Structure formats: structure tokens, C-alpha cells
């Protein structure tokens, strides 16, 4: 078998397995808590009856729903309402690979008492021993910083540093007076995921689903103060229809959101289920992996100046990272980088002049394949990769690597106005591609 094809095929496999193979990346298997995929929210009064649970979960599975956010209490109720229904729902959802997240409407008049109800939900077990996959702390009535901190610290202390916690708060665009007091940076200290209630329907103003969602995501990142914060956007399902929901999901996609859900008006409608079934038209199937990779690369010193993870990556940025991983040294000068890229066959046509152009998915995957091949050849002959001396590693003409590689699992990108856009790689996708091949490039 052609050794080149072996190396390229091996690299391809790395794109679709866990990041566990990377020692630097650590364990980046499927993140806990919420799953990649769409979600729906359920109020305390709308739990399906036990004898209807199977049909209910089958319908969720049929429409691709991966997360169910189930209300278990309010401040003025017991901690677990409907334990029999909850037990059946959790067990049946898990059979269909659907994660179940508990939430409670917390008034925060007594922060610790409200938090204990969430702790009770986290500790709830079904007759078969199943449990909730996460809890979502819903805070919207009183957002005084001291109350939010007391509530949040209690949760974290009782459940431990590794338990996945979701913070549910209003979009910062909401004009309610308590929203301005939301302690965003504090929430970021205690919670793994920030889930803004992104409700664009308003009796006071005419908000567009796309614009409201876009501005919500950008503002949340700005208020938290870091681009790798995980944001799960709760979409407006209160009498909304397909056009708005598709606009909502487009805005999530265009702004690098890793997951989203709908909060319905009593029950999810058939039209809304059909929209959720189109979720993968807008979201990569491994969006949370991409965010985990982006966080890891930032820890390694890459992408530290990035403000918006959904923005496009230049060819220079991508090639610079690959050259550092191959050689262990920084190539600062753009002409020197271009010489390295050409001399070592990563892209024979590359030039300093084209370095500021945006890189596309296919080019990035092709470069990774060539880089893995180059590293393998260097190891085989026991020669380090010297950026100034191609020597025995000068690349000969080879079969195109993208014969085996495919673009990332994502629909064709369509701009807000409906026109097809260019194939552009954003920082989240670039991080996933780079980190997936990290161990092969060392």
C-alpha cells in the first residue's frame, strides 16, 4: 500500500475521533451536560404522562432533538414535581440518546433554599438509576449580584467543580430593569454554559429574529469578556413560525453559537419541530468539539488576539500555526513563511501577497494532510524539519490529498441576504481541524 495514502488516511481518521489522542489537548471527549444538537424547553405543567412518554420521545428523536430542558420546580414548590413522570421521561430520553437537563424558576428571595432545589434535582435518580445530565439555573426575577453569587456558589460547592452547570438569564438586549444588573463575569466564574433567553417578540418594539440573535450573542461575549465562552441561545418559540426560527438558527450559525433550543408557548408545534429537524443545515454536527478545541489552542498560546470566534481565519494565521507545530519555532517574516510553505510542499503556489486572504475548508484540510505526511517522512528518516533547509524533505508532486479528505460537516454557507458566500474557515472550525491532527504533527 502507498505509504502516503496510509498517512493521509490516518490523518483523516483523526478528524472524526475524540481529541483524546492529543496529550496536550487532554480529554476532549463529548463535553458533558448539553449535547451537540437542538433542544426544547418544557414547563412544570407539561410533562408527558407516563403512558405517552415513549411516543413523545420517539417524536423528539424523529426530529433530531438532542436536549430536553425539563422544569422540576419553582421557588414555591417542592424540589421535584411529578417524580414518576420525570423518572420515565429521563429513562426514555436516554434510550434515544437525548440528554435531559433540569431547570427551576428561582425567585432568589432565599438563594440557598432555591439552590438546594436544584441540588435535589441533580441528585434525583430514576428507578433504574438514571439521572439528569445537567442543571440549568434560571435567574430572571432578582439579579442582585450578592444573591446570584450566593445561589451560584452554593450550587458549585454542593455539586463540585466538574458538574456541568448552565446559567439561564435574559438577553442583555432585554429592557427589563433587573437585566441591567446581570453580573455576567460572575456567571462566567460559576457556570460552564451561558444561555440567554433570546426572545425577540416584544409588545414594545419590532425586533427581527436574525438581528436580535446576532446582537445578543455579540453582547454576551462582550459582557463576559472572552471569545471562548460557551453560549447556548434559547430561541423564541412563543407563537413563532418557520421563517423566524430559520432566521434565528442562521444568526446562531453566522456568529459561532455551539447549540440552541426553543422555549415554546405551552407546547412545541409541528411547524417548530420541522424547523428543528433542519438544525444541522445551520450547525456543524461537532460544534461543541470545535469550541473545546478553540479553548485548548488558546491555552497553548494560539488565537489569543481573537475577539470573535466566528470570524474568518487568514491563510497566514493558519500556515503560521502549522509551521510552528512542524518546526517548534516561530516564523515571523511573511516572506520566510511563504518560502517555508512552498519549499516543504504545503502549498506550492503560496505567496506572501496571498497570506492575508481568507482560507477555506478544503485548503485547510489539504494543508493538514500534507503537513502530516511531511512530519511522518521526517520521522522516518530521522531528520528534524528545519524551516530554512528543505533538504531531503523537499516535496515531490503527490496525489491530491483532498481525494480522501472532505470539508467539515456543515451545510453550504448562505449569507443573511440569501446569497451563497465563499467557503470560509472560521476560528472554531480551524481549531477543530488543527487540534484533531495535533498528535500527528508533534
Q: Which three cell numbers stand for residue 27?
A: 480529554
Q: In angstroms, what CA-CA distances link 131 with 71, 78, 122, 128?
A: 14, 18, 7, 9
pLDDT of residue 202: 83
Angle, helix 209-224 to helix 242-254, in steps of 10 degrees:
30
Name the residue with cell 440557598: 112
pLDDT of residue 394: 58
CA atoms within 13 A on the CB side of 248: 30
pLDDT of residue 25: 38
CA atoms within 13 A on the CB side of 276: 33
- CA 286: distance to chain centroid? 7
CA atoms within 13 A on the CB side of 351: 3
Alpha carbons 10 and 145: distance in angstroms, whole number: 51
The DSSP call for residue 52 is G
Q: Please, what are the averages of pLDDT over each run of 10 residues along the chain (442 residues)?
A: 44 42 44 93 94 97 98 94 95 98 96 97 97 97 96 98 97 94 97 97 87 98 96 96 97 96 94 97 90 94 95 95 93 92 90 92 94 91 86 53 40 38 84 92 86
pLDDT of residue 203: 74
pLDDT of residue 261: 98
| Closest-CA residue to 229 (of 256, 262, 261) | 256
- CA 273: distance to chain centroid? 21
Indicate where the chain has its CATH 3.20.20.80 domain(s). Answer: 39-282
pLDDT of residue 392: 63
pLDDT of residue 80: 94
Phi (first) and psi of residue 128, to 5 degrees: -95, 0
pLDDT of residue 24: 37
Alpha carbons 134 and 343: distance in angstroms, whole number: 50
Question: What residues are paired with 70 via a beta bridge?
Answer: 42, 102
Alpha carbons 403 and 387: distance in angstroms, whole number: 27
* Architecture in CATH for domain 39-282: Alpha-Beta Barrel (3.20)
Q: How many CB atoms lie within 10 A of CB 227?
A: 23
Amino acid at each position: 500500500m502507498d505509504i502516503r495514502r496510509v498517512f493521509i488516511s490516518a490523518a483523516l481518521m483523526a478528524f472524526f475521533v475524540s481529541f483524546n489522542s492529543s496529550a496536550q489537548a487532554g480529554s476532549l471527549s463529548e463535553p458533558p451536560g448539553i449535547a451537540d444538537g437542538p433542544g426544547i424547553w418544557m414547563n412544570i405543567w407539561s410533562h408527558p404522562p407516563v403512558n405517552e412518554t415513549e411516543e413523545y420521545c420517539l417524536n423528539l428523536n424523529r426530529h433530531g432533538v438532542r436536549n430536553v430542558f425539563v422544569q422540576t420546580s419553582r421557588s414555591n414548590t417542592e424540589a421535584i414535581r411529578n417524580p414518576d413522570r420525570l423518572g420515565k421521561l429521563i429513562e426514555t430520553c436516554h434510550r434515544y440518546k437525548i440528554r435531559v437537563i433540569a431547570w427551576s424558576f428561582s425567585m432568589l428571595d432565599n438563594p440557598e433554599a432555591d439552590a438546594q432545589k436544584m441540588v435535589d434535582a441533580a441528585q434525583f435518580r430514576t428507578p433504574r438509576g438514571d439521572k439528569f445530565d445537567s442543571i440549568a439555573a434560571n435567574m430572571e426575577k432578582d439579579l442582585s449580584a450578592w444573591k446570584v453569587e450566593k445561589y451560584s456558589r452554593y450550587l458549585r460547592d454542593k455539586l463540585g467543580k466538574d458538574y456541568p452547570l448552565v446559567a439561564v438569564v435574559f438577553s442583555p438586549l432585554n429592557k427589563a430593569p433587573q437585566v441591567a444588573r446581570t453580573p455576567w463575569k460572575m456567571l462566567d466564574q460559576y457556570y460552564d454554559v451561558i444561555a440567554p433567553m433570546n426572545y425577540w417578540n416584544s409588545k414594545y418594539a419590532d425586533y427581527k429574529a436574525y438581528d436580535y440573535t446576532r446582537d445578543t450573542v455579540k453582547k454576551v461575549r462582550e459582557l463576559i469578556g472572552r471569545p471562548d465562552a460557551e453560549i447556548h441561545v434559547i430561541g423564541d418559540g412563543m407563537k413563532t413560525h418557520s421563517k423566524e426560527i430559520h432566521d434565528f438558527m442562521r444568526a446562531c450559525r453566522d456568529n459561532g453559537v455551539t447549540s440552541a433550543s426553543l422555549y415554546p408557548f405551552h407546547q412545541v408545534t409541528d411547524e417548530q419541530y420541522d424547523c428543528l429537524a433542519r438544525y444541522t443545515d445551520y450547525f456543524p454536527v461537532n460544534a461543541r468539539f470545535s469550541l473545546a478545541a478553540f479553548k485548548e489552542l488558546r491555552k497553548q498560546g494560539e488565537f489569543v488576539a481573537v475577539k470573535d470566534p466566528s470570524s474568518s481565519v487568514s491563510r497566514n494565521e493558519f500556515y503560521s500555526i502549522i509551521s510552528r507545530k512542524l518546526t517548534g519555532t516561530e516564523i515571523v517574516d511573511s516572506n520566510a513563511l511563504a518560502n517555508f510553505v512552498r519549499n516543504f510542499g504545503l502549498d506550492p503556489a503560496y505567496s506572501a501577497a496571498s497570506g492575508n486572504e481568507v482560507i477555506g475548508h478544503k485548503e485547510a484540510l489539504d494543508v493538514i494532510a500534507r503537513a502530516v505526511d511531511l512530519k511522518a517522512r521526517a520521522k522516518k528518516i530521522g531528520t528534524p524539519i528545519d524551516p530554512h533547509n528543505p533538504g531531503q524533505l523537499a516535496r515531490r508532486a503527490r496525489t491530491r490529498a483532498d481525494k480522501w479528505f472532505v470539508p467539515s460537516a456543515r451545510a453550504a454557507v448562505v449569507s443573511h441576504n440569501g446569497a451563497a458566500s465563499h467557503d470560509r474557515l472560521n476560528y472554531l472550525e480551524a481549531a477543530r481541524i488543527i487540534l484533531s491532527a495535533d498528535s500527528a504533527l508533534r
